[in-house]
Structures are given as structure tokens and as C-alpha cells.
Amino acid sequence: MAATGTMRRSFGSLAFSISKRAFSTSPSPVDANGLKSMNLFSAINHALQIALESDPRAYVFGEDVSFGGVFRCTTGLADRFGKGRVFNTPLCEQGIVGFGIGLAAMGNRAIAEIQFADYIYPAFDQIVNEAAKFRYRSGNQFNCGGLTIRAPYGAVGHGGHYHSQSPESFFCHVPGIKVVIPRSPKQAKGLLLSCIRDPNPIVFFEPKWLYRLAVEEVPEHDYMLPLSEAEVIRQGTDITLVGWGAQLAVMEQACIDAEKEGISCELIDLRTLLPWDKETVEASVRKTGRLLVSHEAPVTGGFGAEISASMVERCFLRLEAPVARVCGLDTPFPLVFEPFYMPTKNKILDAIKSTVNY
């Protein structure tokens, strides 16, 4: 998926850079701190390598995984770890996840790839009725905690209905699984390793928009980032913004613009959507008194609704204004109309202002 055409977003001071590796000066930039300049798919690749290295009973599988994957996340893995551990599956998502559950039930780390989140639905039964309930229904005699399902999600500029979806909210409604979404290469590597090693089945959505474009200094060693802990990535006092994945970069731009107009924004990356860190968001909303949630997925029934309802429950009297949601339209994801569908920086900026001026 080449990110050609109009770059509708510009990325500012968010920790990574979306340009052609602007600050790498040497061919293999590894600095003395053990950091390496990597984009998102390389960071994912790194995490998978470490996972396969550190556990001989880890497996990576899915459609086209063997040659490196359509997004190159699995490059080199089959050569290095062998076709028994890194392998293609037939084209069948329900089979991929069902097979993965069985592998995980035997104590393996089963890292399944779904080629696009748009195609995850055939596996929905296996995820909801089986993976999510495997431990509970067996009275903890069995579990498939070793299962991690990775899928690229989100807008990519030209993906249309079936290469752009953000289906996270369907999964956030399923007790028993976790849902994790990284915002950058460094986050992705650490979160993915945590997901792989977490003893619960997890769906890990990777923002495909950032696969090549996001470049960051990523530690080369084995490190993990905590699940169910949101991160405040920008401090502020007037309004709390909550988001995840690629949308954070857009939100950050809005925060920068708002600051020029004297509005101080606090920006939170949820990172784990299920189970989500209500405490961090609540503490921030108590500080600012205002909340705005933004996601690409359609607004109705999107995960923003859960965040809004929870914060209204907890912080009603503190709130100065209704919770704002700046999200995708309630339509299938359109192609030529993508710029109209998306929750843009200016839509967010307008919502920030009207919330602050309520």
C-alpha cells in the first residue's frame, strides 16, 4: 500500500516523524543508546523476531506471511525461524483463528495475522464465542491466552470500503479478549511484545497508514509496554482529548493549533481499549472539565460512546460541557469521499473550541 497522493495529515512534534527518515544520516542508523530508526512495519517485524527468538513455541502464521506479508511485517521470519514456525495458511480467516486457538490451547504463543481488519469478520465467531470464553467456560482448566491476532486497520488514503475499516468497537464489547492499538513504531514493538506474552487472547490493530510513514527511534532490545495503561502524551489544562492509533497524530495537530488560540489541550493515548484505563482518563477530565474523543470508526456505537458514558458517570458535576465526539460518518468508508468522511484536524479544532466556549 504505497502512501502516494495527497498527504492529508502533517505530523508535528508527535514522537515519530512522518517523512522519509529525515533524521537518519547513516545507512544503518544504530546509535550508542541501542536505538534504531525504524518504521512501523519494521518495529512490528522486530517484535515478532524477538517473540520467535525468546520462545521456541511461538508461531507466526496467516495469509502471505511466509514471503514477508503484504505489509512486510513478517519479512525474513520464515527464513530465519523455518517454515514450521512461520507459515502461510489457506485463505480462510475462521480457519486462521480457529487453528490459532487450538495452538494456543496447547500452551504455544500463536501469533495470527489477519491481512486486513476488514476481513476479520469470518473469524468473529471464533473470537467471540470461543477465544473470549475459552478460559471462563472451562473453569480455568483450559485457556488460549497465548493467542494474539494482528490486523492492519484504518484509513490509508485510498482504501475504500474494504481496506480502511476500524472495527475495534465490535471487539470492545466482548469480555474475555483484550484490544490494543499502538500509535507509533516504538509503542507498537513494546505493546505487541506485551500482547504476545500476556496470558489472554488479544486483538492487536496496527494503523496501516503508519506502516511506512511513521519513523521513530526504537530500542533494539526486548522491551514491553504495559497493557491497560493509557498514556498522557501531551499535558494540558483546558480540555482532555482521548484517541488511539493513527488518529492521535491528527489530534496532536489540532492541539498545536488550539494552543495558538490560547487553549491548552491534554492528549491521551488510550493504547488498550479493552480493558481500558478509566482512571487516567478520569483524572485528566477532573483536571480539565472537558472531554473530546476522536476516532476514525463511525460515530454511532463507536468506542467513543463508551468513554463518554463512563466519564459522564464518573465526572458529571465536574464537566463544563457535553462530551464531544469527532468521528467518522455513519457510512461505509467511501473512496473519493474519504477526506469528507474523516475526522480531520479542523473538525477536531472546531469541536475543541465549541467545547471550551460552551
Q: Residue 114 Cβ, how far from other proteins at the closest point, in Å? A: 14
Question: Which uninterrupted H or E stretch holds 326?
Answer: strand 324-328
Q: Please identify, using beta-carbon distances, which residue of 12 and 175 lies nearer to other proteins.
A: 175
- Binding other proteins (rule: CB under 8 A), the pick from 29, 160, 275, 334 is 275
Q: Residue 224 Cβ, how far from other proteins at the closest point, in Å? A: 16
Q: Which residues contact 27 (CB under 8 A, 6 or more apart)?
A: none
Q: Please identify, using beta-carbon distances, which residue of 173 and 221 lies nearer to other proteins.
A: 173
Q: Please identify, using beta-carbon distances, which residue of 145 and 159 lies nearer to other proteins.
A: 145
Q: Tell me if 316 contacts other proteins by CB under 8 A.
A: no
Stretch that binds other proteins, among 42-50, 80-88, 285-293, 346-354 (CB under 8 A): 80-88
Q: Tell me if 197 contacts other proteins by CB under 8 A.
A: no
Q: Is 93 an active-site residue?
A: yes
Query: Which residue from 186, 151, 194, 168 is spatially nearest to 34, judged by alpha carbons?
Result: 186
Residues 232-261 that bind other proteins (CB under 8 A): none
Cα radius of gyration (the chain): 20
DSSP 320: S
Q: Tell me if 28 contacts other proteins by CB under 8 A.
A: no
Q: Is 163 an active-site residue?
A: yes
Ramachandran assignment for 147, one of left (phi > 0), alpha (psi -120 to 50 degrees), beta (any other): beta
In whole angstroms, what separates CA 64 from the centre of its chain?
Answer: 21
CA-to-CA distance for 102 and 10, rounded, in angstroms? 43
- Binding other proteins (rule: CB under 8 A), the pick from 5, 27, 84, 262 is 84
Pairing of strands 239-243, 291-298: parallel
Q: Tell me if 228 contacts other proteins by CB under 8 A.
A: yes
H-type helices in the chain, by residue range?
Answer: 40-54, 77-81, 93-105, 124-125, 134-137, 168-171, 185-197, 210-213, 247-260, 278-288, 303-315, 338-341, 345-356
- What is the contact mask toward other proteins in residues 47 to 76, using x (rule: CB under 8 A)? ----------x-x-----------------
| 343: preceding bond cis by omega (within 30 degrees) | no
Q: Residue 106 Cβ, how far from other proteins at the closest point, in Å? A: 4
Q: Tell me if 142 contacts other proteins by CB under 8 A.
A: yes
Catalytic residues: 93, 163
Q: Residues interacting with other proteins, by CB under 8 A? A: 57, 59, 84-85, 87, 89-90, 92, 94-95, 98-108, 110, 122, 125-126, 129-130, 133-143, 145, 175-176, 178, 199-200, 228, 275, 278-279
